[in-house]
Amino acid sequence: MSTGRRELWVEEPVGRRRLPDPVRTAAVRAWLIAALTLIQAVVAYLFTLAGSWLAFPLVLSTIAGTVVATWSVLDVWVTRQVWKQRNGVVSEPSSTARQLRRERRMARRAAREAGRIRKQRARAARRSARRGETVPEAAPETAGDAPAQVPAGELGATGTGRQGAPTARAGRGELSRA
């Protein structure tokens, strides 16, 4: 039973996104200060036309109000720029938010890689423990530089067992010093 009339209140999609809270607060403050300054200027003008003695102090306070209103508009602009840089508008190549996300992503990758290396070392230690070999505990920076240690009883077929002689059982193409 539609009558064809439009409802009194119709929700329409908004064309622009809502301002962030700090920016909106600064904008409201700026509008209030600008409105009060404008009202004060009109009253000062009317007092000047009437020839009242209050005109001069009111003109001086209107000039001060104009300075404060200008400052509050600059505050809106600065607050908006700071919010953009800190919280994620990344449409500009020089955005700080993009750089912060890149740094966080690289830190997560490094942490994942460090965890993966730790797991591989633990797995290798368990494997060598099962075989009866000793594996040195090396710092992550020197892991590739440290020679593998092999107990004296498990020298390879080509090694002589003398100190400094290469052995075949060093593991994965590395040479070891017995």
Clarify whether residues 39 and 52 are in a common domain: yes
Residue 176: give the domain boundaries. 147-178
Average pLDDT over residues 145-163: 48
All residues at 6 or more sequence positions from 22 whose CB lies less than 8 Å from its CB, including other chains: 79, 83
Q: How many residues does the chain have?
A: 178
pLDDT in tens, 98-138: 778 888 999 999 999 999 999 999 998 888 888 876 655 55
End-to-end CA distance of the chain: 97
- pLDDT score, position 110: 94
Clarify whether residues 125 and 175 are in a common domain: no
DSSP characters over 141-164: TTTTTSPPP--GGG--SS---STT
pLDDT in tens, 3-50: 677 778 877 777 777 888 899 999 999 999 999 999 999 999 999 999
DSSP characters over 42-93: HHHHHHHHHT-TTHHHHHHHHHHHHHHHHHHHHHHHHHHHHHHHHHT--SST
Clarify whether residues 30 and 55 are in a common domain: yes
Q: Residue 123 domain-assigned?
A: yes
As for how many domains the chain has, the answer is 3
Average pLDDT of the residues of the chain: 78
Cβ(45)–Cβ(55) below 8 Å: no
Clarify whether residues 81 and 29 are in a common domain: yes
- Tell me, what amino acid is at 39? I
Please state, in angstroms and as integers, the Cα–Cα distance from residue 99 to each residue in 57, 73, 80, 113, 124, following that order: 52, 29, 19, 21, 37
Clarify whether residues 125 and 168 are in a common domain: no
pTM of the predicted protein model: 0.44
